[in-house]
Homo-oligomer: A and B are copies of this chain.
Amino acid sequence: MSKCEQCIVREFSSLKALNKEELVKLAECKTSRLVKKGEVIFEEGENVNGIFCVKDGVCKLTKLSPNGKDHIVKLVTKGELLGQRSMISDEPVNLSAVALEDMQICFVPKSEIMGFFDKNNQFSMNVMRTICGDLKEADSQMVNMAQKTVKERLAETLLYLQDTFGKNEDNTLKIQLTRDELASMIGTATESCIRLLSEFNKIGLIELKGKKIILKDIPKLKKMS
Contacts and interface: CB of A to CB of B under 8 A. Distances in A.
A40 interface: no
Q: Which of the listed residues A91, A94, A127, A136 has the most CB atoms from chain B within 10 Å of its own CB?
A: A136
A63 B142 CA distance: 10
Contact of A69 (B118, B132, B147): B147
The prevalent SS among residues of A at the interface is: helix
A132 B89 CA distance: 6
Report the contact-size class of chain A (Cβ under 8 Å from the partner).
35 or more
A163 B196 CA distance: 40
Contacts of A147: 65-67, 69, 71, 187
Given A124-B124, A147-B65, A147-B66, A139 B73 contact: yes
B135 A85 contact: yes
A24 interface: no
A199 interface: no
A136 B134 CA distance: 10
Contact of A143 (B73, B89, B125, B186): B73
